[in-house]
A = this chain, B = another copy of it.
Amino acid sequence: MALQFASRMDGLKGSAIRELLKIADKPDVISFAGGFPAPELFPVEGLEIVSKKVLEEDGRKALQYSSTEGFLPLREHISKLMEPQSLKADPDQILVTAGSQQGLDFCAKLFVNPGDVVITESPSYLGALNAFKAYEPKFVEVEMDEEGMLMDKLEEALKTNGNVKFIYTIPDFQNPTGRTMTIERRKKLVELANAYDVCVVEDNPYGSLRFEGEIHPAIKSFDTEDRVIYLGTMSKIFCPGMRIGWIYAAPAILNKFNLIKQGADLQCSTIAQRECAAFFDMYDINEHIKKIIDVYRRRRDVMVNAMKQYFPKNVSYTYPNGGLFLWVTLPEGMDSTDVFKKAMDKKVAFVAGEPFYPNGGNANHFRMNYSAMPDEKIIEGVKRLGEVLNELC
């Protein structure tokens, strides 16, 4: 038969990362490719206790359908969790989603008609770009420096594009670059969004994983006109396998997300939400986050120190103050997929940079993850990668 798919499927390709993970997932490969949190830090024992508790105390409710907006005690915990980012969220302004990935899909579904403009950082998170693409936007990229999106470039993009629906940004320890937007720029970004009457999608999976310095107030904390949509997730501070994230937004927007959620999958797992809430009742999540930070900070240092030792001098890289990733820049004209092929011969994997640019190009970059490998593998992997780079650069 001749399958006639919708036109939105034309631009949809598999995530380079997800496809690559299948290759990189072999046990003998040292992989800096995924965005996996360190599994040895998952609170397995705590979850055993809470899952028993939830099933024993309220098992029949935990296995039944429940409300679309999500389990209220969990939404109360989520509200508290965002407080260090200077947010005071009414739990009624929170919708529980299947990870923040679902929030990304919903943002494009809510706002984007084919041809509408979405402004992104350049580069930006691949998974977001893939989610958005299903709604056929035009992507306008805004250049970054070490302090995040360049505000004059953002203003230019807003000025020269008529139908901008939202600005998409990952302000803290950005995926893929590891960069953080300064507080001044956060304020300026809200000003610009107000002036040009567009929404902001603030994707913040890593904000609380700060290794040094003060946690930055979320962009949403400067929102004076209810136009910032904040996306959060349990994936990096608790565990990704349960698929719990959230959207925090003003009622006029959140009500629409609720409708979208009803059509998309009715609700998130009742039992996962109750287990997550019970865990937050019984354990101090901030203590748990501190443990994660200590491990990731050390791994970042191990990786950066190994890069200093093994990488050629014409290869540069970012120095993230938190999160899971850093970003490597090769000399102009080089293609990181060439590096990737040779690295895979040496059983080392990373993600080539080009797919992070919505309109392509910029092949001389790649993303490195430092959260998922133990110290000695980070050193060994960077060493092997250094050999490849010294050969090619």
Listed in ascending order, the chain A residues whose CB lies under 8 Å from chain B are 1-9, 12-15, 18, 22, 34, 36-37, 39-40, 42, 44, 47-48, 51-52, 55-56, 59-68, 97-99, 101-102, 105, 109-113, 116, 127, 130-131, 133-135, 165, 194, 197, 199, 225-227, 235, 239-243, 252-253, 256, 258-260, 262-272
Contact = CB atoms under 8 A, between A and B. Distances in A.
A39 B52 contact: no
A242 B260 contact: no
B133 A263 contact: yes
B227 A18 contact: no
Nearest to A56: B48
Nearest to A271: B241
A262 B52 contact: no
B44 A105 contact: no
Contacts of A165: 4
A135 B61 CA distance: 33
B55 A44 contact: yes
A156 to B, nearest CB: 21
Contacts of A270: 240-242
Contacts of A111: 4-6
B256 A9 contact: yes
A270 to B, nearest CB: 4
29 contacts: A1-B197, A1-B226, A1-B227, A3-B199, A4-B165, A5-B256, A6-B116, A8-B113, A9-B110, A9-B256, A14-B259, A40-B60, A42-B63, A44-B59, A47-B59, A48-B56, A63-B239, A63-B242, A64-B241, A65-B241, A98-B265, A101-B264, A105-B263, A134-B260, A134-B263, A241-B269, A242-B269, A242-B271, A264-B264
Contacts of A272: 242, 269, 271-272
Nearest to A274: B241
B55 A47 contact: yes
Contacts of A235: 65
Given A48-B55, A197-B1, A7 B113 contact: yes
Given A6-B109, A99-B265, A130-B262, A48 B52 contact: yes
B18 A262 contact: yes
